[in-house]
Structure 1
Amino acid sequence: MNSYDSKILIVDDQEPNTKLLKRILQSFKYTNIDILLDPRSVLGYCQANAPDLILLDLKMPFMDGFEVMEGIKSIVDPLFIQVIMISAQDEHSNKLRALDLGIVDFISKPFDNIEVILRINKALELKSLHEELKAKNDTLQCEVNVKSQLLEEMQMELIDRLMLSAEFRDARTGHHIARIGFFARHLAELAGLDERKSETIYHASKMHDIGKIGISDEILLKDSKLTDEEMDKMRLHTVKGAKILSGSQSEILKCAEKIALNHHEHWDGTGYPNGIKGESIDIESRITSICDVFDALCSERPYKPSWGLEAVIEELKTIKGIYLDPKLTDLFIEHIDEFIEIKKDIEVN
């Protein structure tokens, strides 16, 4: 927009002053000029019209220029409505207060035509620069958002490939991983977590057993119940998983590190590796634990058959408050049909 097309608002309770300023502006080709004699109308005008520049008198009835400026600041960034204060008073304290409120310049009464135009031109140039800078920042932010999205997609691909490496060792683990992600996201949503957090848990929970990469095949693929010594080694997958995932700045991987470490902690403090209890266990791990137990009970293992739904529900009720978060477990059971449907959908696909 040409600066001469800029919308200029004159605010002064003295009509002769407004007419004089308007004539000065028109003599220098400015045409888009409005006048308000009542300062109480300024905020409504700004909301409806968004002027580029306001010539604001200091001393007026009902509201002085400072009060008007405070109102303007409450509804819009002063950088995008330039305000020049007009006053016959030249006190230093007034100028300091005006600058603090975001006033960009001052015009003294009586008016000097050339000074008025020079100061107005300067203010409009400053506004134009702010708008150009904002446009460039918006463009840069858009580019950053696109690159962040690409980076996140690459992270997800790497995570999926990392999970695929676990499936190569044990097909049962791979299917289990897929189900846990969907279960955990749904339970997170039911628990009231926001969409971003739920999506983070979806990706992070799939890595809960990543530490099993560091467990020997003799233990991991054993077709019978583990001995106490073997179980001690198996339990190390929590620590190994957290170590694999540690040190990342990624929100998903930081969440996955917590889940890998804590998904075998118990509500009553009898779990491993650190014996933490109750709500000291992060909610991401508590959600994953319930989904992990549910899937394990529903799935066939070399050392056990899959359980029927009634038996699964009874077991969840038995261990809630001992191994599992009681409120989250009740929520899971309340929506058990939805989790069964998720399980069926994954098996079909």
Structure 2
Amino acid sequence: MNVVIVDDTPLNLTLMTKLIGRLPGAIPVPFDSALEGLAWCDTSDPDLVIVDYRMPGMDGLEFIRQLRARRDRDDLPILMVTASDDRRVRYEALEYGANDFLTKPFDTHEFEPRVRNMLKLRDAHLATRQRAASLAAEVRRATAAILERERETITRLARAAEFRDPETGAHIQRMSHYSALIARALGYPEEFAEAILMAAPMHDVGKLGIPDDILLKAGKLSADEFAVMQRHPRIGYDILKDSSSSILRLGATIALSHHEKLDGSGYPQGLAGEAIPLAGRIVAVADVFDALTSVRPYKPAWRFSRAVALLRTGRGSHFDPRCVDAFLHRWSDVLAIHARFRDPPARSGAVPETATPM
């Protein structure tokens, strides 16, 4: 263990170096300059610091204050060496972070036990730190396993909806990655973008409760049929809302809100503006864009320019303007996502334009 000794008096420095060298496992690291000792501590890993009080330039109190200000030094034991019997000095040293004191002239019968005790304290701190790191690693592994189970649950829910819906798995992948892209472009934390990525595939899980003759109808829905179709956000919300998983609860929010419109004309609740949850506003842009540019039984795929024009037209009425702008600002990433998650050849639409939308 590295024992840093800082003392400007050569005799004291030599004596303490020899005494430390006699202790098993202790390596003395002597400095006659406080600045040099502090610089070594900044770049290396001391296990104990012994510092004199009276030194030219930087005294022991200032040395301790600056050392404690460095990161990860709170559990580093510090012994101050002083010939002073001034209680004020000792009070200040304790205030700055000294753990114990050694008084000149040295008593070797006192010096060695104090140093051994400080090194035992340091060893205990290091062992506690190692146990904490091991525990944190276990927590990370357990959390990763939970997240993997959540992903599996989400994937299976989304696939269950796919079996009854003409939409493809590629649509689910594209719209969820578009959604995460918008969240990142808006400047939200990566944790939120990842949560959106995982939760967005459940946006239409409520279609499990829609009859096939309406869900799979090739033509335009009648008013009554559309009223039935409008139930799917509430059905999806009811399926997911009571989950203990934050991702599934976010999926419930998205399922319920992604058909709302900024002007209040959407469904099922007729929410307007920022009363619509952010996740729902994000997914609305991603879902509509990909639905328009994908083949459906009732329509061919739109060209990208036409879909972009619709987003711009609906900016501020249907869609959150910030979400539209964020999506179009990352156009090269949009094209990359579209290329990565392609529909099967039989379902793919026209080749999209690749130019950046103006």
> Is this a same-fold pair by TM over 0.5?
yes
How far off its partner does 1:307 sit?
3.1
Deviations 1:29-88 (A, max 9, x none): 687323323323332021234322111123333333222112112224235532112223
Deviations 1:129-169 (A, max 9, x none): 11122222222222221222122111111111111111222
Distance change >3 Å, CA 88–CA 228, structure 1 → 2: farther
In structure 2, what is the equivalent of residue 9 of structure 1?
A: 4
Say whether 1:211 aligns with 2:210: no
In structure 2, what is the equivalent of residue 117 of structure 1?
A: 112
Say whether 1:346 aligns with 2:342: yes
Contact 2:218–2:297, Cα closer than 8 Å, also in 1: yes
In structure 1, what is the equivalent of residue 50 of structure 2?
A: 55
In structure 1, what is the equivalent of residue 352 of structure 2?
A: none
In structure 1, what is the equivalent of residue 248 of structure 2?
A: 253
For the residue of structure 2 that corresponds to 1:172, the secondary structure is coil
In structure 2, what is the equivalent of residue 77 of structure 1?
A: 72
Match for 1:65: what amino acid? Answer: G
Q: How many residues align?
A: 344
Match for 2:156: what amino acid? Answer: R
Aligned mates of 1:302, 1:25 — CA distance in 2: 83
Q: What is the aligned counterpart of 1:150 among 122, 145, 149?
A: 145
For the residue of structure 2 that corresponds to 1:269, the secondary structure is coil
Q: What is the aligned counterpart of 1:34 among 29, 32, 55?
A: 29
Match for 1:346: what amino acid? Answer: R
How far off its partner does 1:24 sit?
3.4
Aligned mates of 1:35, 1:336 — CA distance in 2: 60
In structure 1, what is the equivalent of residue 353 of structure 2?
A: none
Aligned mates of 2:239, 2:132 — CA distance in 1: 37
Q: Which runs of 5+ in 1 are unaligned?
A: 1-5
Query: Structure 1 segments of 4 or more deviating over 6 A?
Result: none
Q: What is the aligned counterpart of 2:59 among 41, 45, 64?
A: 64
Deviations 1:84-109 (A, max 9, x none): 12223355555454344332222223
Q: What is the aligned counterpart of 1:132 among 118, 127, 136?
A: 127
In structure 1, what is the equivalent of residue 272 of structure 2?
A: 277
Q: What is the aligned counterpart of 2:136 among 141, 157, 164?
A: 141
Aligned mates of 2:206, 2:25 — CA distance in 1: 72
In structure 2, what is the equivalent of residue 3 of structure 1?
A: none
Q: Which runs of 5+ in 2 are unaligned?
A: 346-358
Contact 1:79–1:130, Cα closer than 8 Å, also in 2: no
Say whether 1:265 aligns with 2:246: no
Bigger mean CA offset, 172-181 vs 90-99 = 90-99
For the residue of structure 2 that corresponds to 1:328, the secondary structure is helix
Higher helix share: 1
Aligned mates of 1:222, 1:329 — CA distance in 2: 30
Aligned mates of 2:170, 2:22 — CA distance in 1: 79
Q: What is the aligned counterpart of 2:165 among 163, 170, 174?
A: 170
For the residue of structure 2 that corresponds to 1:159, the secondary structure is helix
TM-score, structure 1 normalization? 0.84
How far off its partner does 1:12 sit?
2.4
Aligned mates of 2:76, 2:331 — CA distance in 1: 56
In structure 2, what is the equivalent of residue 311 of structure 1?
A: 306
How far off its partner does 1:347 sit?
1.2
Distance change >3 Å, CA 176–CA 22, structure 1 → 2: closer
Aligned mates of 2:219, 2:150 — CA distance in 1: 36
In structure 2, what is the equivalent of residue 46 of structure 1?
A: 41
Aligned mates of 2:29, 2:223 — CA distance in 1: 86
TM-score, structure 2 normalization? 0.83
Match for 1:140: what amino acid? Answer: L
Contact 1:84–1:107, Cα closer than 8 Å, also in 2: yes
Bigger mean CA offset, 286-295 vs 321-330 = 321-330
For the residue of structure 2 that corresponds to 1:35, the secondary structure is strand
Bigger mean CA offset, 147-156 vs 278-287 = 278-287
Contact 2:20–2:27, Cα closer than 8 Å, also in 1: no
Distance change >3 Å, CA 300–CA 55, structure 1 → 2: closer
Distance change >3 Å, CA 58–CA 338, structure 1 → 2: closer
* Cα root mean square deviation, aligned: 3.0
Match for 1:347: what amino acid? Answer: D
Contact 1:79–1:127, Cα closer than 8 Å, also in 2: no
Aligned mates of 1:47, 1:225 — CA distance in 2: 72
Contact 2:68–2:74, Cα closer than 8 Å, also in 1: no
In structure 2, what is the equivalent of residue 221 of structure 1?
A: 216
